Amino acid sequence: MAETLVPLESNPEVMNKFLEKVGVPPKYNIVDVMGLEPEMLSWVPRPVLAVTLLFPLSDAYEQHKQQEENQISSKSQEISSNLFYMKQNIHNACGTVALVHSVANNTDKIALNTGHLQRFLEQAKSVDPATRGELLVMSDGIINAHKELAEEGQTSKPKDDEPINHHFITFVHKDGILYELDGRKAFPINHGPTTPDTLLEDAAKVCKEFMARDPNEVRFTVVALVESE
């Protein structure tokens, strides 16, 4: 991987400033998901375009990740050709990768302003996930926006050999399927049928599975990309 960044925090204010800086219109914004039960989910503004989970990396997660990748590699899975997926090539850039995944898979709804993200997606649309990750490394406007907004958080810059303790992933709807997009995994994960109207509820079920694998851990945060009036 390339340089080590200060991580973005799972803070809607910081994340929204990042999105606006790279060219996302302010009517599309990140909001907190305060809980995963139906009543809590009902408080989230609609429509929901993407759901992002921040969770602690653990042995249980790494073991499941390896098992999952082995199982999928042995039996394959269906992946929409319209899905935008990219690899993560920069330490601690998972927050930015998650936000890019959230927006890139909704460009049929989000009319991006001329700016860093629009230019990146134009370059990245016809190349493979690994090349997309390399293009992001070279996208100074996006990386500098990350650096600027990460400085607004409370996290200090990690040392190069310091382990990353938390990770962002994103869930999106594409062509009737719920996809988990994690730049550290070998490929996107097909989690079965969903719709634009049930994306939040279906993603919440998968988030609960992450939590169940680490029952003694409480450091999980969920946010959603929504369209406001």
- State yes or no: is 207 an active-site residue: no
* Torsion angle of C-alpha atoms 120, 183, 205, 222, degrees rounded to 10: -70
Q: How far apart are CA 56 and CA 218, in angstroms?
A: 9
Q: Quick one: which H or E segment has residue 201?
A: helix 199-213
In the set 101, 116, 146, 167, the catalytic residue is 167
DSSP bridge partners of 177:
174, 193
In angstroms, what CA-CA distances link 65 with 50, 99, 183, 185, 213?
21, 21, 12, 8, 11
Catalytic residue among 94, 146, 166, 173: 94
Does the annotation count 94 as an active-site position? yes
Query: Cβ atoms within 10 A of the Cβ of 179, count?
Result: 25
The two three-digit tokens of residue 198, written as one number:
């049930």
Structure tokens at 227: 């369209």
Which residues have a Cβ under 8 Å from the Cβ of 220 and sit 6 or more positions away?
53, 54, 55, 56, 207, 210, 211
Token pair of 137, please? 């490394």
* Nearest C-alpha neighbor of 104 from the set 23, 32, 201, 33: 23
Q: What are the catalytic residues?
A: 94, 167
